[in-house]
Amino acid sequence: MLRTTLILAALGVGLALAPAGAQTAPAAPDTTPLPPTTCSTEELSKMNAETAKMTDPDRKAVAMKELTLATDLMAKNDMKGCATHLGNAIRMIPGRG
């Protein structure tokens, strides 16, 4: 009984001393609304140029994948899907999303 009490007390102290961020839920995904995005060859070319200048390799890889998906959907005349993936690519570019 005493051992259990001491273990529970130690856990309580550990939680009390843990950083505040460790006790909160993970951050929600970015759902900030973006300005309306229109899929066009011009917009995709512009985004490809901006993405090529990116220095963060992880964000750049995600942006390139989203641009590829947007291009594929535009070729299939799925403009809504294209706009969704183009918006996702825009969110990856620092200062744009």
Q: Within a domain: residue 61?
A: yes
Q: What is the pLDDT of residue 63?
A: 94
Q: What is the pLDDT of residue 15?
A: 47
Q: What is the pLDDT of residue 3?
A: 63
> What is the domain extent for residue 97?
35-97
Gap between the Cα atoms of 97 and 30, Å rounded: 9
pLDDT in tens, 2-59: 565 545 455 454 545 555 555 555 554 555 555 567 889 999 999 999 999 999 999 9
Gap between the Cα atoms of 47 and 69, Å rounded: 13
| Position 72 confidence tier, pLDDT thresholds 50, 70, 90 | very high
Q: Within a domain: residue 15?
A: no
Q: What is the pLDDT of residue 38?
A: 82
**Secondary structure percentages of the chain, helix, strand, coil, to 5:** 65, 0, 35
Q: Within a domain: residue 56?
A: yes
Q: Within a domain: residue 10?
A: no
Domain total in the chain: 1
